[in-house]
Structure formats: C-alpha cells, structure tokens
Amino acid sequence: MSTHQYDFDLLIIGAGSGGVRASRMAASFGAKVAVIEDRYMGGTCVNVGCVPKKLYVYASEYRNAFKDAQGFGWSTSAPEFDWPTLRDNKIEEISRLNGVYDTMLGGAGVTVIDGRGRFVDNHTVAVNDQQYTAERIMIATGTWPYIPEFPGSEYAISSNEVFDLEEFPKRMLVVGGGYIAVEFAGIFNGLGAQTTQLYRGPLFLRGFDQDIREFAAKEIAASGIDLRFNSNIATIEKQADGSLTALLEDGSSIVADAILYATGRKPHLQNLGFDNVDVALNDNGTIKIGENFQTSESNIYALGDITGGMELTPVALAEGMAFAKTLYNNEATTVDYDTIPTAVFCQPNIGTCGLSEEAARKKYSDITVYDSEFRAMKHTIGGRAERTYMKLIVDTASDRVVGIHMAGEDAGEIIQGMAVAMKAGATKAIFDNTIGIHPTAAEEFVTMRSPRVK
C-alpha cells in the first residue's frame, strides 16, 4: 500500500482516543502509520479526563456509602480521607494505561513519535528537528481547557491541574455549568470539601432535558453543594495565607482554597503550522470537515473533539474506525450520530439517550411522556434522602421511544442497555411487554404505564 515518495501512508497528529483508534486500524489494514504526541499518550480521556475523573467519582461516593452501611447493621468509625493516597494511586494507574497504549500501538506496527507536530506543507510535518512526509495526514489533537482572562484569572486552575493538587482544598469553588463542572463539584463535595458551584446562567447542563436539569439541581443542592445560578466572578484575589477570594459581579465574595474553572474547551491548534496549509476553520475555531473527515486540504483529515461535534470519547473512537475502514479497507463506513447515549457522573448520576422533551416537541406533532420519581430501595434502610427520576418520551404516532432519561444511581450503566433498544427502534409496546428484573431501579423503565398528564 505504501507509496515510495512518502515516509508514511498516514501520519496522525495526536494520540488521543480518535487518533489511536484510526492509527491502529489503518495499520491493521496494511498502511504504514505513525502517530505524533507531545504530552498525553491516550489523550485527554485517559490522562486528565474521563478515566481519572471516574476514579475520583468512585472515591467521592464512599463517604455516603459508609453512612448507608450503618442502617444495614455495619458499625463503622468515622472514616478519614487521605488525598495523597487517591492522587498517587491515580497517577500509578494512568502511568500503567500510558504503557498499555504504547504497547498497543507498537504491537499494531504504528510508529510513535514524541513531540509537537507542525505542518511544513500539506504532506510534511516537522517534529523537533526532523521532518516526516505522508500521503495523508490526520489532525486529532482534541481540545484544551479555556479560562477567560480577568483580574486574578491566573489563580484559577483547569481540569488539567485539578487531579494533581499538592494539598486537598477544604473549600472548593467550581465555576461552570457543563459536564466537567457538575462532576467535579460532586467529587469534591463527596470527598469532604466545602463546595460551591457558580454558573452564569439560570440553570446548568444546558441541552439536557429540562426535567432532568431541574431534578438534578434539586438533588445536588440537597447533597450539600452550594449552587449559585446567575452568578459570575469579577476578580480573584490571593491572600497572604494562600487562600483565594472570589469577588462576584453582584458584589458578594467567596473564600476558597482552590478555584476550578470548567467553562469550556477550545480546539488545541496552537503551534501546528496552520499558516503553511489550507485547512479551513468554522466560526467557533473548530476544523471544518466534509465527507470522510476530509478538510479543505484534500489530503488532510480531522476527527474527534477538534471538529466541533459531540465531545465524547466513544464518538471519537467510532470516527477513527470509520475513517480507517473507508480509506484503508475499501469499506465505506459512516458514523450514525443519532441516538448517542451519554452520562454525567454527578451525584446522582445522569444518563440520557435520544431527544429531550423540548427537542421532541419540536420534531414530532404529538408526543407522550411517561415519568416516575421514587426513593431507591437501597436508601429506605440506608437512610439517604436521595431520589431517582426516570423519563420516557414517545412519538405518539409511531409508538417509538425517542428519548430516555434518568437521574439516579448507576444511570449510565442502565441507559447504556436502553440505548441498544432505542437504536433497534423499540416502541413503547415493546418496553411494556418486556419483563423487568425485580427488584431493580431499571425495571421502572418497563413498568411505566400511565402517561404524564399534559
């Protein structure tokens, strides 16, 4: 397959989820492939994203679990949390995973090049003092946390730094209203920090189903997080004792030991040499792509978060697979972006798949909504007041389930299975004819019979 005039058939800049998958699969189809990475082998997800975040979520859930245990007859002394143990065990696990990725790429025959790739022209990339040529080049550098500039913004940290803080912040201030902000507020609250979350809008998790957003806000506030909507920081001042004072736009102030800004991410395109290639960008700075992830430069491609689509690891993996199959295995493959499930690992977890009620009302002439709210069986003895909310949205004409939403323990695990049914086109009648597993929370999805009154 190799062409003699190039060093490689495919050269990928970025060893994140999409880049690694595309490189491995292309190599397995016979292409000569190299991948360039300057910092995080495995990308954001493995190093400063979903993997360490989920480990910290697990850690944050033990405090409530210890309390729950007493109701089930377990006599426990007050547990103590040790931040360095969690942090250092996380570092060890991520280091192990980095090695797994290196081994995986090497085993697939992919050449790994350390450094920041920079375009020299549309077929040439320079890394350090060496140049490499390729028939096709893929950009898969992902996105980077963005902290807006304002007086004192240099004292704020991003999700890149929050995992490895030298000391555990007893007072944590989280700014933002998306996945990352909501999840880290839950993490630090669960680990024992006095936690405040600010969001400039009236309600966080924009784009999610409105009922889920409102239910989550109620439960998250009940968990002990000080939720403040329509709030924003004007300045941050560092005090002599190292603490930080956030002065808000409304004139009030909050004192914290650390301030995490989770207000968005931007394409990681710095120092890529874009002046030397004709790669067009969208208005928001993401890379514009067409069929088969092709950019405006015909032999340069882009996939993953950097293209402005759904910023989810499984989506980048699917895109990497589709790219490799199409271009290196003569197997035309596209990614179906409809009905993609996702989860927010806050407390309680949120899982969702398909359309929100608001989106469904815009798309269909008539919908039927089923929902249920209850206290999970586990908490009736454990004593926790936390509640669960479930919701089904049905296109009335076809009886097809077009949206499914849950806020409650293990929501992500439950919605993954429900997503398979939705992808297969399951109707509400099929849900109704499915026998539930008793006693579980998940069975509620197949026992909701009465539609919500409009």
Active-site annotation, residues? 438
* 66 vs 200: CA distance, rounded Å: 35
Torsion of the alpha carbons at 68, 74, 77 and 83, rounded to the nearest 10:
-50
Please report which helix (H) or strand (E) contains residue 291, including its range.
none
Q: What is the chain's Cα-based Rg?
A: 24
Strand partners, 177: none
* 270 vs 290: CA distance, rounded Å: 22
Closest CA to 246 of 377, 156, 186, 334: 156
Closest CA to 213 of 356, 54, 401: 356
The answer for 264, left when phi > 0, alpha when psi is -120 to 50, beta otherwise, is: left
Q: Confirm if 316 and 159 have CB atoms less than 8 A apart.
A: no
Strand partners, 125: 119, 132
Q: Which two tokens stand for residue 59?
A: 């850690």
* 12 vs 20: CA distance, rounded Å: 9
Q: Cis omega before residue 151 (within 30°)? A: no
* 401 vs 441: CA distance, rounded Å: 19
Please report which helix (H) or strand (E) contains residue 366, including its range.
none
Q: Confirm if 181 and 267 have CB atoms less than 8 A apart.
A: no
Q: What does the buried/exposed string (b/e) look like for 396-413 if buried means 16 or more CB atoms within 10 Å of the residue's CB?
A: eeeebbbbbbbbbbbbbe
Q: Confirm if 160 and 48 have CB atoms less than 8 A apart.
A: yes
Q: Confirm if 34 and 11 have CB atoms less than 8 A apart.
A: yes
Please count the helices (runs of H) and the strands (runs of E) in the chain: 11, 21
